[in-house]
Amino acid sequence: MIGRIGLCRVISRNLSSTESGIAQKLTIQPAIERSPTELLNALSETVGPDTTAPHFAYIDDPITIPSTQTAKKTYFMAKEFGKRAARELATEWPTLFAFDRDQPRLPAFRPQHLADPLQVDPTEKSLLSIMESREVQDTCILYERMRSENVDVSEEVQLELFRLVAYYNSSNVPFAEWDSWAGMRNFGENDHSVWNSGGVPDLLFETLPKTDETVSIMISGLCKFSGHSSMERARELYKEHRAAKGKIHREAFNGLIGSSSFSVAKKLIQEMAAQKISPDVFTFNSLLTAATKAPKFEDRMKAYTEVIGEMKAIGVEPALSSYYIIIKNLVDSKILENEKRDNEEQNAAFKRQLTVAVSWLDEILNRISTSNLTPVTSSCNLFFAEAMCVLYRASNEKLAAKLLSIYESKSNEVKMPSFTIESIFYNRYLQLVIEQTTSLNKIYDLYTSMVPRLVGVNNSLSSLIYRKLSVSSDSHWPLLRRVIIDGITAGQIINGVLGEEMRKKLSDVQLHTLGTSEREQYTSLVQKLVAVWIEFSQFTEEKMRRLQRKLSPSQISECALLLTRIGEQQKAYELLELLLDENACSGEEATVHPKGHARPWAMAELFEDALRQKDTFGAATCLQIMSLTANRTKLEPLANRIFEKCNVNPEQRRIIEGFVRLRPQ
């Protein structure tokens, strides 16, 4: 009854509010004009990045979330090649998809075969169509076919073709300029070839009239694919055209300047000024490139200062690529290549040049921190990676943090490719912070926020964290566990040095300091590690032998110790018995290395554990293994301890005494 009364009150209240609302006039507000990505930007600013999640490119399947840079490349390229294969199938057999009713109809799902230059009609329309698709080699084939069939090509079309083939040197578009396939754009290897003499560009250049534009195009192409002969030809063309009272364009000047010495480049700049051609950022970048060829550090510094001063004087804002050229060449490459730097003179030169580089970087960062950064050239993003490398060498954490904040700020639109240059940038920053700090909590927070989302698991990073854990007076189980788990997924478990570090760090863990859940994690981790090592040692079949990693005596002793720590003594002694089994280290079915010895400290702890358990068999097994490296003098006290601590019957005592007596002095 009470429920019914309450329901009636709610209904009557809603009806009264509805009736009063009918009398009011409903006003629809005008729609707010928004950009296509405004909603996505608002969501991104509200939610923010999830530092615990993998990169968005790998969220499709948790099984294939990679940990290393190599795995990231493999998985990303596998996805991309899968898409390319699907498009190839749709191109080859379009009738299989004829009844699809997708709306809107997307051209990406209806790919078409590219025009065959040997099959299409030899007309200007066909030539322009292939030129528009930027299939440079097909364009050259069709043009040569048209010439052989005496098909006339207008001068305008020939000029457009000349621009295309001269820019790409009659080769197809390099991977770096692929728009549709990010994987090939970032991971593809570009062939920096020299000028292809006698090709279609040379033929067109001889056919077309020698105007300012055609000569400039030819000089630009020769300088882009520079070699000794091509640069000589470019300079000759410039001299000939200048003698004929011609004027080349700015792009040609840029190519000549970047391929010349700094003294010659300054003369070319003066000639540009005489012809009233205003330089741009690309011109000054070419001038900076010429300045890097100065052999002496002082000459390079003077040249850089002159160029930057000239840019400020005429109001040209340096691009990040301009700063990249400077920072990359402040320290002599020969000094960087010689990492040891044995003599004091090289060390002093390196420190001086590095100090100057940091000073330049400090000034550059102060300048760009208040600016909106936009990409001007294709190499602008390289500035951040090169700057971080310099600060890493200088161990300057403060400037590195400032550089990171500039890169991640909303005012910066210059971004590095995620799986190539950007990972180097973040890896350098992470290692720098780890080296400079003593706080394990700070290392843990930074490591978990970057690995493996931004930084792939790598040997140098893991080794650095193990060293930090070794020298620290505090323990940090979450950090150690995370690094070992990442090492397992990255395949570091079969690395001899890092595998040993894992076992050593787990052996150093004080179990009484761990909570209940942490002890369970410790037990699970030890079981997993030992199982993996044993499994790799048992790949004795011929087809699997290349993957086999035999157990070393030191590895067996350390694994046995870890098993006793988690209460699995029986498995520990079964593992130790492999050291006493001759068949385990000989023949094609061998799973143990014949060379090496068990760790003395590990065997000592195993021996003490057996005595505490009053395990005569375990103590005797440890004694027999230790006898492989110890003499009778060292074994006799150990045998006496077995007699004192364990329940040894007369026959067992006689056997142990006889065994020790037969050992050498």
Classify residue 505: in a domain, yes or no: no
3-class secondary structure, 494 = helix
Q: Name the β-bridge partners of 373.
A: 412
| Residues 230, 128 share a domain | yes
Q: Mean of the pLDDT values across residues 187-211? A: 87
Q: Mean of the pLDDT values across residues 542-558? A: 91
The vertex-271 CA angle with 258 and 303, nearest 5°, equals 45
| 390-418: pLDDT as tens digits | 999 999 999 999 999 999 998 999 999 88
Classify residue 404: in a domain, yes or no: yes
Q: What is the 3-state secondary structure of 284-297?
A: HHHHHHHHCCCCCH
| 7-55: pLDDT as tens digits | 444 444 554 544 554 557 788 888 888 888 888 888 888 887 777 777 7
Q: What is the pLDDT of residue 94?
A: 81
Q: What is the pLDDT of residue 183?
A: 87
Query: In this structure, are residues 287 and 321 in contact, taking their beta carbons and an 8 Å threshold?
Result: no
| Residues 358, 238 share a domain | no
In 3-state terms, the chain is what percent helix, strand and coil (to 5)?
65, 0, 35
The vertex-61 CA angle with 56 and 63, nearest 5°, equals 115
Please state, in angstroms and rounded to a whole number, the distance separating the CA atoms of residues 145 and 133: 18
Burial environment of residue 258 by CB neighbours within 10 A (0 to 12, 13 to 18, 19 or more): buried
| 467-488: pLDDT as tens digits | 999 998 888 999 999 999 999 9
**Average pLDDT over the chain, rounded to an integer:** 88
Classify residue 421: in a domain, yes or no: yes
Q: pTM for the whole thing? A: 0.86
Boundary residue ending a domain (221, 248, 275): 248
Give the closest residue to 326 by CA, choosing from 317, 314, 318, 338: 318
Cα 129 to Cα 257, 264, 352, 399, distances in angstroms: 35, 42, 57, 51
| Residues 241, 125 share a domain | yes
Query: In this structure, are residues 141 and 118 in contact, taking their beta carbons and an 8 Å threshold?
Result: yes
pLDDT of residue 2 exceeding 60, the answer is no
Q: Mean of the pLDDT values across residues 283-310? A: 92
Q: What is the pLDDT of residue 342?
A: 65
Quick one: pLDDT band at residue 4, thresholds 50, 70, 90?
very low
Report, in angstroms and rounded to the nearest whole number, the Rg of the chain calculated over CA atoms. 36
3-class secondary structure, 592 = strand
3-class secondary structure, 551 = strand
| Residues 547, 432 share a domain | no
Q: What is the pLDDT of residue 114?
A: 84
Q: Which two tokens stand for residue 115?
A: 């025009």
| Residues 657, 547 share a domain | yes
Classify residue 257: in a domain, yes or no: no
CB atoms closer than 10 angstroms to residue 307:
24
Q: Mean of the pLDDT values across residues 278-305? A: 92
Classify residue 282: in a domain, yes or no: no
Alpha helices in 377-420 (DSSP H): 382-394, 397-408
CB atoms closer than 10 angstroms to residue 656:
23
The vertex-92 CA angle with 91 and 93, nearest 5°, equals 95
Identify which has the larger pLDDT, 337 or 210: 210
Please state, in angstroms and rounded to a whole number, the distance separating the CA atoms of residues 147 and 27: 71
Quick one: pLDDT band at residue 227, thresholds 50, 70, 90?
confident
| Residues 230, 329 share a domain | no
Phi/psi-derived region of residue 567, left when phi > 0, alpha when psi is between -120 and 50, beta in every other case: left
Please state, in angstroms and rounded to a whole number, the distance separating the CA atoms of residues 303 and 281: 16
Classify residue 8: in a domain, yes or no: no
Instruction: List CB contacts of 175: < 8 A, sequence separation 6 or more.
Output: 184, 185, 188, 189, 190
Count how many domains the chain has.
3
Quick one: pLDDT band at residue 339, thresholds 50, 70, 90?
low
Query: In this structure, are residues 365 and 406 in contact, taking their beta carbons and an 8 Å threshold?
Result: yes
For residue 81, the 8-state DSSP code is: H
Q: Mean of the pLDDT values across residues 433-459? A: 93
**In which residue are the tokens 């566990």 written?**
481
| 106-138: pLDDT as tens digits | 777 778 888 889 999 999 999 999 999 889 999
The domain containing residue 643 runs over which residues?
A: 540-664
Tally the C-alpha atoms within 13 A of residue 74's C-alpha that lie toward its C-beta: 9
Mean pLDDT lowest for which of 11-15, 194-198, 564-568? 11-15
Please state, in angstroms and rounded to a whole number, the distance separating the CA atoms of residues 137 and 158: 15
Boundary residue ending a domain (248, 283, 302): 248
Q: What is the pLDDT of residue 23?
A: 57
Classify residue 255: in a domain, yes or no: no
3-class secondary structure, 576 = helix
Q: Name the β-bridge partners of 592.
A: 551
Question: Identity (one letter) of the amino acid at 369?
Answer: S
Q: What is the pLDDT of residue 288?
A: 95
| Residues 546, 424 share a domain | no
Identify which has the larger pLDDT, 586 or 445: 445
Cα 30 to Cα 33, 34, 313, 427, distances in angstroms: 9, 12, 50, 49
Phi/psi-derived region of residue 169, left when phi > 0, alpha when psi is between -120 and 50, beta in every other case: left
Share of the chain above pLDDT 70, in %: 95
Boundary residue ending a domain (436, 465, 491): 436
Identify which has the larger pLDDT, 47 or 270: 270
| Residues 326, 223 share a domain | no
Quick one: pLDDT band at residue 5, thresholds 50, 70, 90?
very low
Q: Name the β-bridge partners of 574.
A: none
Q: What is the pLDDT of residue 340?
A: 59
Classify residue 125: in a domain, yes or no: yes
Query: In this structure, are residues 459 and 492 in contact, taking their beta carbons and an 8 Å threshold?
Result: yes
Identify which has the larger pLDDT, 251 or 113: 251
Please state, in angstroms and rounded to a whole number, the distance separating the CA atoms of residues 637 and 645: 12
Q: How far is CA 605 from the centre of its chain?
A: 42
Query: In this structure, are residues 647 and 616 in contact, taking their beta carbons and an 8 Å threshold?
Result: yes
Instruction: List CB contacts of 386: < 8 A, sequence separation 6 or more.
Output: 324, 327, 328
Query: In this structure, are residues 116 and 97 in contact, taking their beta carbons and an 8 Å threshold?
Result: no
| 342-362: pLDDT as tens digits | 677 778 888 898 999 999 999
Please state, in angstroms and rounded to a whole number, the distance separating the CA atoms of residues 235 and 259: 10
Burial environment of residue 219 by CB neighbours within 10 A (0 to 12, 13 to 18, 19 or more): buried
Please state, in angstroms and rounded to a whole number, the distance separating the CA atoms of residues 428 and 431: 5
